[in-house]
Structure 1
């Protein structure tokens, strides 16, 4: 709900006249609204209803409960519907996993899949990894982004967490969300499969997507239409092809890719990007039904709407990530990640923070300086205080 003292009435978002499907689970109870989180990006975004620039044409009627359209390059928010309303993410949460782990893993490195990597919800989306199979990390990313493989998500999260495994990566995902200013995002699973207390918002998803679209490997994977999973000869398992489930890249001129998502609880979610006339826009939507338009089609309609707006149209801003100092401080406070076991995985371990040797040397140097200059300690404390801030669709979950 809007913070106390705000009397502005919410403008209803355009919706198609369709009935929700029978048997849809009740929406999870969200956390209490935080006025600080609701105001991130601008006061106009603090609404459960529609936020569009004055004089803008009405956006298309979509079944998405919440959505947002923003400029990937300038960060200007062109419009939204309940941009800060809590929603469950489904597999678009894999974008947060991507933003957190992709920069730290060598895509050319080969790793071995473990039995625990294949422990996913029965009937949920899997790309078909096999226990004991050896795959390049690039194939795991393709399986994650194209096919929404929860087995790939588990494997990448295990690698990303080093000795801490999946739990360490989930913690790192939550730390990354805070760094980006995605204050309404809390990850419980790396794949986006439902977990108690797992939430995000359309605004937060745009922050996360903006980071992903800035990674060259992600842009390459997201535009890949067909990929090959290598054969596992020692296990007598043949290779196979799989296709990108994001239909935007097959049907929308200028598409940049994105991510689809669905669970019975979260319903359909979608993130998509496109470029036109020198502009790159991103759309995020949550809590949608697949009728009369599928999730990617709703995203395409909202992108069309956004491209029609003037380049200076804005109702808010995608905030920039926290400063490097705050990021370093968070990394130093996080558990150190040890390289995964096994010779093949030696180069796959991420560096979540500085090495132990460098940390020790730096700490010793800082201690000497601080001991000699008390005033520097006071200035450093004040500075640190200032920078701290508070997934074609499958019938099963993806």
Structure 2
């Protein structure tokens, strides 16, 4: 069966949302929507140049907790996922190899173009370029897979084999590289240079804690991405049977001696010998969602990246409202929309085995209008085993 592409241009999407919003708005508000727009409100008062400086940047206020002393990562960042405000950061724009956290950008780029319900029979040529030592979900040439199964292989098993197949369906390896570069620029992620979409070590391939947080925040706003990255366990098909796979993000699953982080909504971890351990994590408490990125801890062993992310999440929830932002993850266009009260609300996680519904909220002055239910999918859970390899 041929893969069905689903174009999702920003102009078409914007027009569609505007039409739906006008239909659902009460008559007085709908009329106001056609009137002359009000002057934009000032953007939040912070100096984005702080994030351009080396070292740790924070602006504590009265009652703010001290930053954790046990964070050894070369680069890290803590931000509010809803507002995009950066609460603190260390070497935010330092360019470092990202490992498999780059798969977050791959997903943001390719997910909109591929029909998750379509099936594809994998060829040997699609698997021939997978790098030695790669993490794999176990795709076999000659077998047919749903695109949704391949995505679970990316998010849970960090399968480079799944990335290679999906990149082929997306138009090819090099076309996907170019699309990812363009997507990073569109999101305002200027530190990222993509060479290998799966995050495999490649000369010149870099990102930053700032850019990884940008990708994580954008992923939470995408219903498919948010569902996949929050899935702890699933089953992967293998002909007439299937086997369990488990998310390698240990803060999500509570594995290998790493305690599960309460309220974690996932995103993506990574490791290569060149990049060290990298991680994008997001968690929710009450009405606040934080996103944290950590790149290459220098102390504490292989699982230190999870404990350092835990410390930063704990700090962020305590510090929220007690620190002034040191920058923003929002692009200039997003900042303009935010100033006019049009920022989308952060997505909320749902427990396992529940119907998962994502909604988009748009503010109009003091009113908040529901403009569409995007997606509803039921998750499955299972006991698991994890293929070996890089993450």
Secondary structure, counterpart of 1:138 in structure 2? helix
Q: Which residue of 1 aligns with 2:159?
A: 149
2:113 pairs with 1:104: yes
The structure with more radius of gyration: 1
2:244 pairs with 1:241: yes
2:335 pairs with 1:320: no
Secondary structure, counterpart of 1:228 in structure 2? strand
Q: Which runs of 5+ in 1 are unaligned?
A: 1-39, 324-391
Q: Which has the higher strand share?
A: 2
The verdict on how the C-alpha distance between 1:73 and 1:41 changes in structure 2, with shifts beyond 3 A counting, is: farther
The verdict on how the C-alpha distance between 1:226 and 1:41 changes in structure 2, with shifts beyond 3 A counting, is: farther
Shift of 1:239: 2.2
Q: Which has the higher helix share?
A: 1
Q: Which residue of 2 aligns with 1:371?
A: none
The verdict on how the C-alpha distance between 1:128 and 1:304 changes in structure 2, with shifts beyond 3 A counting, is: same
Q: Structure 2: how far apart are the matches of 1:280 and 1:117?
A: 38
2:305 pairs with 1:298: no
Summarize the alignment of residues 248-263 of structure 1 with structure 2, pairs less than 5 Å apart.
248-250=251-253, 251-263=260-272
Shift of 1:290: 6.7
Shift of 1:63: 2.4
Q: Which residue of 1 aligns with 2:15?
A: none
8 Å CA contact 2:97–2:275 kept in 1: the answer is yes
Q: Structure 2: how far apart are the matches of 1:395 and 1:128?
A: 10
How many matched pairs?
A: 284
Secondary structure, counterpart of 2:60 in structure 1? coil
Q: What is the Cα-based RMSD across aligned positions, in Å?
A: 2.1
Secondary structure, counterpart of 2:133 in structure 1? coil
Q: Structure 2: how far apart are the matches of 1:185 and 1:318?
A: 14
Q: Structure 2: how far apart are the matches of 1:295 and 1:54?
A: 24
8 Å CA contact 2:136–2:389 kept in 1: the answer is no
2:82 pairs with 1:79: no
Secondary structure, counterpart of 2:59 in structure 1? coil
Secondary structure, counterpart of 2:317 in structure 1? helix
Q: Structure 2: how far apart are the matches of 1:310 and 1:140?
A: 37
2:230 pairs with 1:220: no
Shift of 1:78: 0.6
Q: 2:273 aligns with which of 256, 264, 269?
A: 264
The verdict on how the C-alpha distance between 1:215 and 1:49 changes in structure 2, with shifts beyond 3 A counting, is: same
Q: Could you state the TM-score of these two structures normalised by the residue count of structure 2?
A: 0.69
Q: Structure 1: how far apart are the matches of 2:203 and 2:221?
A: 30
Summarize the alignment of residues 281-296 of structure 1 with structure 2, pairs less than 5 Å apart.
281-289=290-298, 291=300, 293-296=303-306
Q: Which residue of 2 aligns with 1:177?
A: 184
8 Å CA contact 1:246–1:260 kept in 2: the answer is yes
